[in-house]
Structure 1
Amino acid sequence: MTTFRGLRAVAAAATLVLLGACAQPIADGEGVAGTPSSGPPTGGAGGLVLRVKHTGGFVGPDALAGRLPELSVYADGRVIFSGPTTAIYPGPALPNVLVRMLSPEQVTELTRQAVAAGVRPGTDFGQPGVADATTTEVTVVTGAGEQTASANALREARPDDPRLTAAQKQARTKLTGFLDRTDELTSGPGAQPYRPEILAAVVRPYVEPGDDLPGRPQAVQWPGPALPGEPLAEPQKLSCVTVTGEQRDAVLKAAKDAHATTPWVSGGNGWTVTLRPLLPDETGCADLKAAR
């Protein structure tokens, strides 16, 4: 059984055709970071121009640190996003991260639409009466610099929420419409597996399953640097390591036979590891430490 990200059907429009129908395929390969298109229109050579991510919410600290943005778009045309995942427990050890290409014109149009949808200073999305919901954070980089908009419980709030004014509801509707259109970037042919230059691992001590859960899964030897690595969130006993080159390849290979609850053995101890491919604008564990 397979479940997909929320790909929403949207009425055909000129901007949607521009952003969704003309995506350029990526060169064949087991996993690629994307072939740059000619000339970055914004954000510097290959720099981030648009990011959609969720922050907060009722999730565990390791899931919080290892959470990937929903969508990252770069000036060289790369679009990196989470692909389909199997609806089974436990899930795979490695998230399914995909990449596809846009043209410079598509990237420019996408940033223009983001600003028009309210991703700019001063947009008021209000605070609905919803507890423990995530906040949708959208960042766009244009010639005017970096601009961010944050809307709590963007899709969870009721249309008639009394805590929201008419203007706030309208602002939320515009932002939701823009995000529905960006979902089209993750559908259709042409996407390839994203192969990170750096792979991070969020680490915590392994805890044996309780009596009401299946028995201990088969352990896998950790082929990377010694665990647990550098502290990430000490109250939760979280730490982090990064791997590159041959060690990265060895971890990726071992992860094919592992799942999210697999105990990884390093230094004679068992560890639970959340693998997190770092994105092109990320450099190490400090980027995950900043997650919230």
Structure 2
Amino acid sequence: MRRSNAVRRPSALVAGLVGLLMAGGVPGLTACGSGGPGQDAGAPPRPTGRGELAATVRTIPGTPSPAVRAALPDLALYGERDVIVPGRPAGSLLKATVRRVTDMKADTLYADMYATAHRSAPEPDVVDGSTLAVTVARSGAPGSRLHTYRLPLPDDELDAFRDRNDSSGWPADAFAGPNRPYRPARLAVFARPWPDASAATRPWPLGDPTTGTETPEGTCTILTGTRLTRAERLATEAGPGVVWTYAGRRLQLTLRPLLPHERGCGDLGAGPPL
């Protein structure tokens, strides 16, 4: 049950989210010298290393066990200005799309995410309401540079937020290149038992997916190299709704590409809250 304060419309959150992921800066914030237009004077410099995470935004549904690790973030921004967003799934396989943005857009995105995280007071006593997980990185702080803030997000604001971080609605001059498919170097396979014996099945030939890291979303294992390529092909050919079998066990599998900053099952999810 959601506590009554979960449905309040926190004025600070609204103010912070209004500018989130838009082309302009956050109202009331001043620009700093090297950050470019839209850069928050209170924000650290945007990380610029190749494959270095700058910020992610993730909406966590208000359910008892949301699929956080087995789902991609709503948006991830990297140092080389690549923005990665979820694409259209291919059967059991989740896919992502990447597009490079301009320096100005990257600075604005980072500043807005930083401002949203730091100007909105978290409410830890919200029991099961939807939350916004914003992770921001600080350049030059190895080991402690990633910080995740979980902020309450009333349901009536979810649609507006999704609209604001929908990169398909950004103007053409925000981008520095065309869309391209994201090609992961690692693929996480989440396996859960499937009780329905009536569903059509296919055999899973790439090793036991039930031995790995236990998570609320299922057992997580990592595939690389030729096994990754075969898994992508198998999931695409099988299509949606397939149930997989291994050693006589029926399994629901979710194949989730790891993003550039992720190396294993322990790197997935929204991170520890502050």
What's the TM-score, normalizing by structure 2?
A: 0.67
Deviations 1:1-57 (A, max 9, x none): xxxxxxxxx9xx8628xxxxxxxxxxxxxxxxxxxxxxx952533201110012352
Q: Contact 1:75 / 1:104 at 8 angstroms: preserved in 2?
A: no
Aligned length: 223
Gaps of 5+ in 2: 1-18, 26-44, 173-177
Identity %: 27
Give the one of 62, 66, 69 matched to 1:57. 62
Give the one of 130, 135, 141 matched to 1:134. 130
Q: Which residue of 2 aligns with 1:152?
A: 152
Q: Which residue of 2 aligns with 1:118?
A: 116
TM-aligned CA distance change 1:200 to 1:111, over 3 Å:
same
Partners of 2:98 and 2:271 lie apart in 1 by 22
Give the one of 232, 254, 278 matched to 2:214. 232
Counterpart code for 1:94: L
Partners of 1:263 and 1:131 lie apart in 2 by 33
Gaps of 5+ in 1: 1-9, 17-39, 86-90, 159-175, 210-214
Q: Contact 2:64 / 2:128 at 8 angstroms: preserved in 1?
A: no
Give the one of 242, 246, 266 matched to 1:262. 242
**1:1-292 equivalence runs, <5 A:** 15=24, 42-55=47-60, 57-58=62-63, 60=65, 63-84=67-88, 92-115=91-114, 117-120=115-118, 123-124=120-121, 126=123, 132-143=128-139, 145-156=145-156, 180-184=163-167, 190-208=178-196, 215-217=198-200, 219-233=201-215, 238-259=218-239, 261-288=241-268
TM-aligned CA distance change 1:230 to 1:148, over 3 Å:
closer
1:245 deviation in Å?
0.8
Q: Helix, strand or coil for the counterpart of 1:118?
A: helix
Q: Contact 1:76 / 1:104 at 8 angstroms: preserved in 2?
A: no
Q: Contact 2:46 / 2:110 at 8 angstroms: preserved in 1?
A: no
Partners of 2:169 and 2:77 lie apart in 1 by 11
1:222 deviation in Å?
1.6
Q: Contact 1:55 / 1:137 at 8 angstroms: preserved in 2?
A: yes
1:111 deviation in Å?
1.4
Partners of 1:137 and 1:42 lie apart in 2 by 19
Q: Helix, strand or coil for the counterpart of 2:50?
A: coil
Q: Which residue of 2 aligns with 1:3?
A: none
Q: Helix, strand or coil for the counterpart of 1:100?
A: strand
Q: Contact 1:199 / 1:248 at 8 angstroms: preserved in 2?
A: yes
Q: Helix, strand or coil for the counterpart of 2:238?
A: coil
Deviations 1:167-189 (A, max 9, x none): xxxxxxxxx77x75432367688
Partners of 2:101 and 2:70 lie apart in 1 by 26
Partners of 1:137 and 1:289 lie apart in 2 by 10
1:247 deviation in Å?
0.6
Q: Contact 2:133 / 2:148 at 8 angstroms: preserved in 1?
A: yes
Q: Contact 2:206 / 2:231 at 8 angstroms: preserved in 1?
A: yes
What's the TM-score, normalizing by structure 1?
A: 0.63
Q: Contact 1:43 / 1:141 at 8 angstroms: preserved in 2?
A: no
Q: Helix, strand or coil for the counterpart of 2:237?
A: coil
Q: Contact 2:62 / 2:131 at 8 angstroms: preserved in 1?
A: yes
